[in-house]
Copies of this chain bind each other. A is one copy, B any other.
């Protein structure tokens, strides 16, 4: 067990809080019709993004999925530019070209999210290959869902990451469903982390609602990666608090299961832990929430007052 510095713990907590408030706000704005397109929200999985990214430097690089807001916030994409992207404005982190499913910012180490399930896994592996070539200590992290573990890209990538000992960490957020499909009908095994053995790399299962567990596992994986010992597959068992996208009522989920998981709120779990350990007071938390709300208000203001992209901008930035 690594001892986690206090400021890291606070950072994780604040990041999770930020994600939670951000997503709750987005959900409301979306339902009110302020945002075009579709969204996939991250509430319930905050401990994964925060616990993983707390181990990363700005120069480390992540790939993400159709459910990327949490990863973006945890990796340091500016909240204003994230918000503006969801509002489809030219000040968005992708200039309005990407939208919710493609947010990212290479300047802080996040490739625009790849919304093809499994599509980011080879890309992260290639990023890690570049790092190895460049003899740098940077690592790549690929976030993906349980559903992605059944894509060919998962298989091919983990194998190559393994044989070349690449500095890449494969983070599977097993929220038990791929859209409406339970992982129990999609695979016949208990833990997706078991699949690591097919590639000869370590596979670990952690409680994805416990930021500290996620942190610990990632810390070890990052150390391995930076040390040239190759990839790790980390399976974080977690749960979406809401629907798969937009207004999904999750009627395909077992109500008992839902109840059980919803009581295990990762934000609350970390708050209680930090409070118990005397690292955080209820006042600190309140203060944080206040700051976050203010930041969000500003970000929304920024986004709403940002210009729309000009139609013809559609033709730009195809070619380098």
A residues near B (Cβ < 8 Å) are 150-156, 159, 162-163, 185-189, 194-195, 197-201
**Please, which residues of chain B bring their CB within 8 A of the CB of A187?**
159, 162-163, 199-200
Which chain B residue has the least Cβ–Cβ distance from A156?
B152
**Please, which residues of chain B bring their CB within 8 A of the CB of A201?**
188
Do the beta carbons of B150 and A151 come within 8 Å of each other?
Answer: no
**Please, which residues of chain B bring their CB within 8 A of the CB of A189?**
197-200
**Please, which residues of chain B bring their CB within 8 A of the CB of A163?**
185-188
With most chain B CB atoms within 10 A of its CB, the pick from A152, A189, A198 is A198
Cα of A151 to Cα of B187 in the assembled complex, Å: 18
The 8 closest A-B pairs by CB, nearest first: A152-B152, A188-B200, A155-B155, A195-B198, A189-B200, A162-B188, A198-B198, A163-B188
Q: How many copies does the complex hold?
A: 2
Which chain B residue has the least Cβ–Cβ distance from A160?
B150
Do the beta carbons of A156 and B150 come within 8 Å of each other?
Answer: yes
Beyond known contacts A152-B155, A197-B198: 8 more, CB 8 A cutoff: A155-B156, A159-B186, A163-B185, A163-B188, A187-B200, A188-B199, A189-B199, A197-B197
Cα of A153 to Cα of B159 in the assembled complex, Å: 14
Which chain B residue has the least Cβ–Cβ distance from A196?
B198
Q: Which single member of B151, B195, B197, B199 contacts A156 (CB below 8 Å)?
A: B151
**Please, which residues of chain B bring their CB within 8 A of the CB of A152?**
151-153, 155-156
**Please, which residues of chain B bring their CB within 8 A of the CB of A188?**
159, 162-163, 199-201
14 contacts between A and B (CB under 8 A): A150-B155, A150-B159, A151-B152, A152-B156, A154-B155, A159-B186, A162-B187, A162-B188, A163-B188, A188-B200, A188-B201, A194-B198, A195-B198, A197-B197
Which chain B residue has the least Cβ–Cβ distance from A200?
B188
Cα of A198 to Cα of B155 in the assembled complex, Å: 10
With most chain B CB atoms within 10 A of its CB, the pick from A156, A162, A185, A201 is A156
Which chain B residue has the least Cβ–Cβ distance from A190?
B200
Cα of A185 to Cα of B153 in the assembled complex, Å: 19
What's the least CB distance linking A232 to chain B, in Å? 13
Which chain B residue has the least Cβ–Cβ distance from A153?
B152
**Please, which residues of chain B bring their CB within 8 A of the CB of A159?**
150, 186-188
Cα of A194 to Cα of B153 in the assembled complex, Å: 19
Cα of A152 to Cα of B153 in the assembled complex, Å: 6
Cα of A178 to Cα of B154 in the assembled complex, Å: 21
Do the beta carbons of A197 and B199 come within 8 Å of each other?
Answer: no
Which chain B residue has the least Cβ–Cβ distance from A230?
B188
